[in-house]
Amino acid sequence: DARISFKENAKTSLNTVLDMILHLVDSLFYGQLLGIIVALRKQSDASNYFQIQLRYDMIISQAITLISTCLLMLIETSTKEELEIWEERDPLVTFFGFLSCYGDERGMMEDMREIWSVFYGRVQFRFIPTNSAVRWSWIR
């Protein structure tokens, strides 16, 4: 009987701690949100913030599209033996690009550096081999 009481108390304590952590995370989130709202009171600051956010969203979507297209093309043109290597080693992605002819190379290099620094933490490809006789690999 004491053991059942102990388990119930432990479960209640754990749930209480998890609730407190949730409230702490919510408070931190709302504190950061309030900081952004206060910082973006000026129209020029708000404009710069949303321009940077839009630029970031645009370049990450371009990077995802570029790499997805390259991987799909490689899957279509590779042999079974070449694709089996991916079961042991992830494919290496290399990107070659041209610099701007408008003199904005610095901005392009900053964009590229930012995307490659966050890309691997935000995007993950999963290759799933099918059980068919053809044994194609698909990206999900």
Is the pLDDT score of 137 beyond 80? no
Instruction: State whether the Cα torsion 117-121-123-125 is positive or negative.
Output: positive
Q: How far apart are CA 109 and CA 99, in angstroms?
A: 9
Query: Is 10 in the same domain as 48?
Result: no
51-61 residue pLDDT tens? 888 888 888 88
Query: Is 61 in the same domain as 30?
Result: no
80-124 residue pLDDT tens? 888 888 888 888 777 666 655 666 677 777 777 888 888 878 888
Query: Is 130 in the same domain as 111?
Result: yes
Query: Is 127 in the same domain as 72?
Result: yes
Please give the C-alpha separations between residue 21 and each of 5, 10, 16, 33, 41, in angstroms, as whole numbers.
Answer: 24, 17, 9, 18, 31
Query: Is 5 in the same domain as 73?
Result: no
Number of domains in the chain: 2
12-52 residue pLDDT tens? 888 888 888 888 988 888 888 888 788 788 888 888 888 88
Query: Is 29 in the same domain as 47?
Result: no
Domain hosting residue 12, numbered range: 1-39
Q: What number is the average pLDDT over the span 113-137?
A: 70
Query: Is 48 in the same domain as 107?
Result: yes
